[in-house]
């Protein structure tokens, strides 16, 4: 957390929290959701300002309820999550990086959901792989030791039979099946934080 943010929290500890105004989409874009976007349930405008993106990324965290937020000075701006708290992209150096720029170098768990989404976990970081990067990730999946064909992948998604692994950084990570609607509960996060 930025030192300036810590100072603002100490100076103004009781600023009301903000809900619904910030979102993270399934491709790792932060989105500003004005009143019209909230009322019409739209994703909102993509934030492109580099300094603001850096500020959000440095001051991103979660509370004890599993609600993710951006600490904007003394105010917590809670984030609506389209997918997971982090979105991973393939990266030639690290294999994967999340939207904050941090690498996923030590992936502990991998899940392939019934909708084809790949979820990776490293400590507290739970990241859905950006769907645009799945074509690059598929060659790293093996089913019973063999390269994965489209047909074999579909069969595994339907029946979950066979040993599916993800090759990453010289390691074999077992891939577990998971229903996509169970992702928030499995990883204990709130996709749409609400005021208590």
Question: pLDDT digit string (tens) for 107-130?
Answer: 999 999 999 999 999 999 999 999
Could you give the C-alpha distances from 184 to 44, 63, 89, 135, 156, in angstroms and in order? 22, 15, 20, 25, 22
Give the per-residue pLDDT at 8: 59
Residue 9 has pLDDT above 60, yes or no: no
Residue 149 has pLDDT above 90, yes or no: no
Least confident of 5-9, 16-20, 130-134, 176-180: 5-9
Give the per-residue pLDDT at 165: 96
Q: What single-letter DSSP state applies at residue 38?
A: H
Give the per-residue pLDDT at 141: 95
The pLDDT tens digits for 27-86 are 999 999 988 888 898 889 999 999 999 999 999 999 999 999 999 888 899 999 999 999
- What is the average pLDDT value for the chain, to the nearest integer? 91
Give the per-residue pLDDT at 13: 64
Rounded CA-CA distance 105/169 in Å is 8
Mean pLDDT, residues 7-32: 83
Rounded CA-CA distance 90/39 in Å is 34
Least confident of 72-76, 97-101, 169-173, 180-184: 72-76
- Domain ranges within the chain, ordered by starting residue: 3-81, 86-176
Residue 154's pLDDT band, with cuts at 50, 70 and 90, is: confident
At 192, phi and psi to the nearest 5?
A: -130, 80
Give the per-residue pLDDT at 109: 97
Mean pLDDT, residues 84-108: 94
Mean pLDDT, residues 82-111: 95
Give the per-residue pLDDT at 14: 67
User: Whole-model pTM?
Assistant: 0.90
Rounded CA-CA distance 75/8 in Å is 9
Q: Which residue has the higher pLDDT, 153 or 103?
A: 103
CATH architecture of the domain covering 3-81:
Roll (3.10)
């Amino acid at each position: 957390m930025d030192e300036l943010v810590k100072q603002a929290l100490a100076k103004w500890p009781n600023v009301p929290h903000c809900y619904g105004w910030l979102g993270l989409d399934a491709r790792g874009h932060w989105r500003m959701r004005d009143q019209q976007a909230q009322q019409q349930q739209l994703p909102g405008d993509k934030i492109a300002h580099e300094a603001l993106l850096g500020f959000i990324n440095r001051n991103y965290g979660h509370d004890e309820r599993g609600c993710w937020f951006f600490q904007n000075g003394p105010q917590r701006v809670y984030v609506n999550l389209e997918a997971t708290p982090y979105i991973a992209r393939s990266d030639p150096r690290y294999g994967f990086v999340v939207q904050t720029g941090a690498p996923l170098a030590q992936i502990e768990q991998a899940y392939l959901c019934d909708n084809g989404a790949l979820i990776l976990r490293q400590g507290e970081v739970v990241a859905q792989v950006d769907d645009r990067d799945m074509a690059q990730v598929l060659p790293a999946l093996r089913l019973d030791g063999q390269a994965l064909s489209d047909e074999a992948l579909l069969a595994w998604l339907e029946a979950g039979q066979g040993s599916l692994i993800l090759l990453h950084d010289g390691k074999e990570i077992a891939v577990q099946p998971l229903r996509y609607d169970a992702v928030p509960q499995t990883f204990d996060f709130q996709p749409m934080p609400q005021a208590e």
